[in-house]
């Protein structure tokens, strides 16, 4: 039997993040359009600025990046490869 699907009160349904497999819903960042959860969406933004501006420019944001990776990790499916993608930033200086 198929489960009846109820949209949440905002009328938006849940979807699965294509990076970390987390079942999530739009929080207003536009992350549903790119099929990312809010944490992966932010991390993608940081990854872009790291490749555009270099790792040194992103260094002040390291605690924020670490917090987001921890958030992904805390869901129990590993870090979805984020630690590897930010290894240059996360490495001790």
Residue 92 φ/ψ region, left for φ over 0, alpha for ψ in the -120 to 50 degree band, beta for the rest: beta
Q: Which of 5, 28, 30, 40: binder of Zn ion (CB under 5 A)?
A: 40
Helix (H) or strand (E) holding 15: strand 15-16
- Count of chain residues binding Zn ion (CB under 5 A): 6
Distances (CA, A) of 50 to 4, 19, 26, 83, 88: 43, 18, 25, 14, 10
Helix (H) or strand (E) holding 84: helix 82-85
Considering only residues 4 through 33, tell me which ones interact with Zn ion, judged by CB under 5 A: 17, 19-20, 22
Q: Binding to Zn ion by residue 43, rule CB under 5 A?
A: no
Q: Binding to Zn ion by residue 69, rule CB under 5 A?
A: no
CB of 82 to Zn ion, least distance (A): 9
The residue range among 4-12, 37-45, 47-55, 56-64 that interacts with Zn ion, by the rule CB under 5 A, is: 37-45
Residues making contact with Zn ion (CB under 5 A): 17, 19-20, 22, 37, 40
């Amino acid at each position: 039997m198929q489960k009846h699907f109820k949209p949440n009160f905002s009328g938006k349904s849940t979807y699965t993040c294509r990076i970390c497999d987390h079942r999530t819903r739009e929080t207003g960042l536009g992350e549903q359009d790119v099929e990312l959860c809010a944490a992966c969406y932010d991390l993608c933004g940081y990854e872009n600025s790291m490749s555009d501006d270099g790792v040194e420019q992103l260094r002040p944001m390291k605690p924020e990046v670490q917090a987001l990776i921890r958030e992904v990790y805390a869901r129990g499916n590993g870090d979805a490869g984020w630690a590897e993608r930010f290894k240059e930033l996360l490495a001790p200086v």
